[in-house]
Amino acid sequence: MKINEIMTKGVEVISSDATIKQAADRMRVLNVGALPVRSNGTLIGILTDRDITVRAIAEGRNPESTPVNEIMSREIQWCYDDQDVQEASRLMKEKQIRRLLIKDRNEQISGIVSLGDISTHAPSELTGETTKEISEPSHPERETGFGETRL
């Protein structure tokens, strides 16, 4: 199965100088948890709902004046739309990410694949393995914040 068979098409991007509030409003309207970020026509990152929460709100940044380029994830992971879904799954497991940008062979964004897309459309053996490995804690022994240690 090819990635272009399961990906979400028509991905909107946001400008790197847009504010966090503008990005959050766009995410709400589109009902998405991530937006690719462009500067001068070049893809420079991806902004996730987690970036907004952990890097902006938790740090006390002003959502009305802070540009998304200050909090976005800069390491962009992607696959080509004509690659096999197993390649997307492998990369998502390896990098422990829940969303993967998809490009066409002209290097243009053609879609995005989420863990939900793989869970809904990919073969069940691939789905379970991908979900398990992405969900593994990156720091297995850490304080949970509730007086417990995760083992």
Query: Which single residue is written with the structure tokens 């989420």?
Result: 114
Query: Which single residue is written with the structure tokens 């990156």?
Result: 138
pTM of the predicted protein model: 0.77
Longest dimension (CA), the chain: 51
Q: Measure Cα distances from 73 to 3, 88, 108, 121 in Å.
A: 23, 19, 19, 27
pLDDT in tens, the chain (151 residues): 999 999 999 899 999 999 999 999 999 999 999 999 999 989 999 999 999 999 999 999 999 999 999 999 999 999 999 999 999 999 998 998 989 999 999 999 999 999 888 888 765 555 555 554 545 555 555 444 444 444 4
Q: Are 47 and 34 in contact (CB under 8 A)?
A: yes
Q: Measure Cα distances from 113 to 39, 52, 92 in Å.
A: 22, 20, 10
Sheet holding 14-15, edge to edge: 14-15, 34-39, 42-48
